[in-house]
Chains A and B, each alone.
Chain A
Amino acid sequence: DTGVSQDPRHKITKRGQNVTFRCDPISEHNRLYWYRQTLGQGPEFLTYFQNEAQLEKSRLLSDRFSAERPKGSFSTLEIQRTEQGDSAMYLCASSSWGADTQYFGPGTRLTVL
């Protein structure tokens, strides 16, 4: 299967710890998006990359959050000093260009205790 993959699928951490998630987009997709989804809500846009360039960041992306896509392929999302409010599903999506369809991965569910 060559869909979007995310790792890990589940992460439980204690408040104050750092966590890092990985997303592998569909091969040759040059756009990669990160979204966050809390219980009962639709996904919310966080940031996106075109190749290795991070082109837009949401106000939701506080200073504790950082995303990278160093070689224009996979991406990582790091959360430093996690808080209980960070508990959510973190979704990654990729597309071949701006107007093309985004395909989502299965998500990483983060629980901060």
Chain B
Amino acid sequence: DAKTTQPPSMDCAEGRAANLPCNHSTISGNEYVYWYRQIHSQGPQYIIHGLKNNETNEMASLIITEDRKSSTLILPHATLRDTAVYYCIVSASNTGKLIFGQGTTLQVKP
């Protein structure tokens, strides 16, 4: 079973920041938080990952709470092309296998 809980759907206005929450209250000390997204009929696309510290790359920012029980993915200026299913995943470093949940369907509206 997935170790994360995400809202099933969210809307965001184009040009605004999209903040996608994720709960992972049972996360272990060696588990990373990964975010992927999947646009219809394509393979999942890696976005960002982190262990303890907040992370930022050209696509997004990842904010992890101090107790590591939840995180937020931030898309700073959402575009229509960001409409996708976003998956939050916790993954142990030894096996690397990803356990996907249902994800959040983000709909960016004009």
A2 interface residue (CB < 8 Å to B): no
Docked Cα-Cα span, A41 to B41, in Å, equals: 12
Contact indicator A106/B100 (Cβ below 8 Å)? no
A42 interface residue (CB < 8 Å to B): yes
- Residues of A contacting B94 in the complex (Cβ-Cβ under 8 angstroms): 98-99
- Residues of B contacting A65 in the complex (Cβ-Cβ under 8 angstroms): none
The B interface, classified by DSSP as helix, strand, loop or mixed, is: loop
* Contact pattern, B 78-101, Cβ under 8 Å of A = 1, otherwise 0: 000000010100000111111111
* Contact pattern, A 3-43, Cβ under 8 Å of B = 1, otherwise 0: 01000000000000000000000000001010100000111
Contact indicator B96/A91 (Cβ below 8 Å)? no
Contact indicator B96/A102 (Cβ below 8 Å)? yes
A74 interface residue (CB < 8 Å to B): no
Q: How far is the CB of B29 from chain A (nearest CB, A)?
A: 13
Contact indicator A98/B95 (Cβ below 8 Å)? yes
Q: How far is the CB of A38 from chain B (nearest CB, A)?
A: 12
Contact indicator B42/A107 (Cβ below 8 Å)? yes
Q: How far is the CB of B57 from chain A (nearest CB, A)?
A: 11
B28 interface residue (CB < 8 Å to A): no
In chain B, positions 16-51 with a C-beta closer than 8 Å to chain A are 32, 34, 36, 41-46, 49
Q: Residues of A with Cβ closer than 8 Å to B? A: 4, 31, 33, 35, 41-45, 48, 56, 89, 91, 93, 95, 97-107, 109
> What are 12 contact pairs spanning A and B, CB under 8 A?
A31-B96, A33-B96, A43-B100, A45-B98, A56-B95, A56-B97, A93-B44, A101-B34, A102-B98, A104-B43, A107-B43, A109-B41
